[in-house]
């Protein structure tokens, strides 16, 4: 009874076999089939290697949502060199929400030489080249996000020439904490002084001939300081053509959460629009000479996540490649063989029709010869 049940089970499994076996005596090989098989195996190997490279790679996924965090402070990281002595310039932030000057105690004023050394110029040229490529190829930003360099690439190396030249510029660097509202960070003549109706700078003791707002932005970022991230203004250098000149940067800051396999941080991306003009009250160009960075906080938050292809998806794509190539090459080989047989059959049929048969009276016949009994043997 058990043997009978086993036989029934085996017979049922044989009927469900979707891969019927063909006896080897029924299989015929050909040179064309071998050639097509070799091409198919080569294509499968090449596409498998390419698919494995895609599987190893990662990509950045961008998600957008409303930023609901309005109570935390925004950190501004600054490293700017102005071509004026430190006692002549002052930097502060005007918070437009509270109409008051934010504390600028986190900034350091360091006397330096404005002209760069050859090593520093080389790094600045490389940084400017990266900035120009970023404007053309936005996908490079994903590469920068995934790199997570261990050191800040935008920081200039210290001077090594031991120059005896006296400092003619002021490097303003450090960080500030401000409210997450629109504001105005500016560097202008004179130190900031408290004022009950706003704020003011003590500029009366500085002569106009000393004004020179040529500047270099080595680093400017918002939020947590992430080494290796290149921001839009890093490496920017502006040379003033007049003593009374205003440089304006209109910045839109977007809160960003960055999650990669190497780093997880909360930072801020930003876009910037630049404008510069000479202050000439007689010509109607009013304002104050200096460097003004007016920033606004976006209400949207971007979450950037590094993703990887799942292993099961890699297997599905790999099976699709192998099965698709086998099926496609089999169809193409069958169609090609069918066309070749039609062409060769017509050629052979035409050769039989053109055969001449001599007749006893000296004439020839172009008709096909009749099959005789001797010709069948």
- Domain boundaries, given as residue ranges, for the chain: 32-60+308-327, 68-298
Q: How far, in Å, CA of 3 to CA of 182, rounded?
A: 86
Q: Are strands 73-82 and 58-66 parallel, antiparallel or unpaired?
A: unpaired
Q: What's the N-to-C CA distance of the chain in angstroms? A: 60
Which span out of 2-11, 94-103, 285-294, 365-374 was modeled with the highest average pLDDT?
285-294
Q: Distance between CA 114 and CA 307 in Å, rounded?
A: 44
Q: Which residues pair with 30 in a beta bridge?
A: none
Across all residues in the chain, what is the average pLDDT? 78
Contacts of 329 (CB under 8 A, 6+ apart): 36, 37, 39, 40, 43
Q: Which of 81, 83, 89, 82 is CA-nearest to residue 203? A: 89
Are 258 and 145 in contact by the 8 Å Cβ rule? The answer is yes
The closest of 58, 62, 59, 77 to 257, measured between CA atoms, is 62
Of the candidates 87, 226, 222, 89, which has an alpha carbon nearest to the alpha carbon of residue 155? Answer: 226
216 vs 25, higher pLDDT? 216
DSSP assigned state of 83: S
pTM of the predicted model, to two decimals?
A: 0.67
pLDDT for res 370: 47
Q: How many CA atoms lie within 13 A of 354 on its CB side?
A: 6
Cβ atoms 82, 352 nearer than 8 A: no
Answer yes or no: are the C-beta atoms of 198 and 186 closer than 8 Å: no
% pLDDT > 90, the chain: 10
Express each pLDDT in 140-178 by its tens digit.
566 666 565 544 455 666 666 556 678 889 999 988 888
């Amino acid at each position: 009874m058990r043997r009978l049940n086993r036989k029934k089970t085996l017979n049922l499994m044989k009927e469900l076999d979707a891969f019927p076996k063909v006896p080897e005596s029924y299989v015929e090989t050909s040179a064309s089939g071998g050639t097509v098989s070799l091409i198919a195996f080569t294509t499968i190997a090449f596409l498998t290697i390419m698919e494995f490279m895609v599987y190893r790679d990662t990509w950045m996924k961008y998600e957008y949502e409303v930023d609901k965090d309005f109570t935390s402070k925004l950190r501004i990281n600054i490293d700017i060199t102005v071509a004026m002595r430190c006692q002549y310039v002052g930097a502060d932030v005007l918070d437009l929400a509270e109409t008051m000057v934010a504390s600028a105690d986190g900034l350091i004023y360091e006397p330096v030489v404005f002209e760069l050394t050859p090593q520093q110029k080389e790094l600045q040229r490389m940084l400017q080249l990266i900035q120009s490529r970023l404007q053309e190829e936005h996908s490079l930003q994903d590469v920068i996000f995934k790199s997570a360099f261990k050191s800040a690439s935008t920081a200039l190396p210290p001077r090594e020439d031991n120059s005896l030249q006296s400092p003619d510029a002021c490097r303003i660097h450090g960080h500030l904490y401000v409210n997450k509202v629109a504001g105005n960070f500016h560097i202008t003549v004179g130190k900031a002084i408290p004022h009950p109706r706003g704020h003011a700078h003590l500029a009366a003791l500085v002569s106009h001939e000393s004004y020179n707002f040529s500047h270099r932005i080595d680093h400017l970022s918002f939020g947590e300081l992430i080494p290796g991230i290149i921001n839009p203004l890093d490496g920017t250098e502006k040379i003033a053509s007049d003593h009374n000149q205003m440089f304006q940067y209109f910045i839109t800051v977007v809160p960003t959460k960055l999650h990669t396999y190497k780093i997880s941080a909360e930072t801020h991306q930003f876009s910037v629009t630049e404008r510069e003009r000479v202050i000439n009250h007689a010509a109607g160009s009013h304002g104050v000479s200096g460097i003004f960075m007016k920033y606004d906080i976006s209400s949207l938050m971007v979450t950037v996540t590094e993703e990887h292809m799942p292993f099961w998806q890699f297997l599905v794509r790999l099976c699709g490649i192998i099965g698709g190539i086998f099926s496609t090459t089999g169809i193409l080989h069958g169609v090609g063989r069918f066309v070749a047989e039609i062409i060769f059959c017509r050629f052979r049929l035409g050769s039989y029709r053109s055969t001449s048969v001599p007749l006893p009276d000296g004439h020839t016949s172009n008709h096909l010869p009749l099959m005789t009994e001797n010709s069948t043997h």
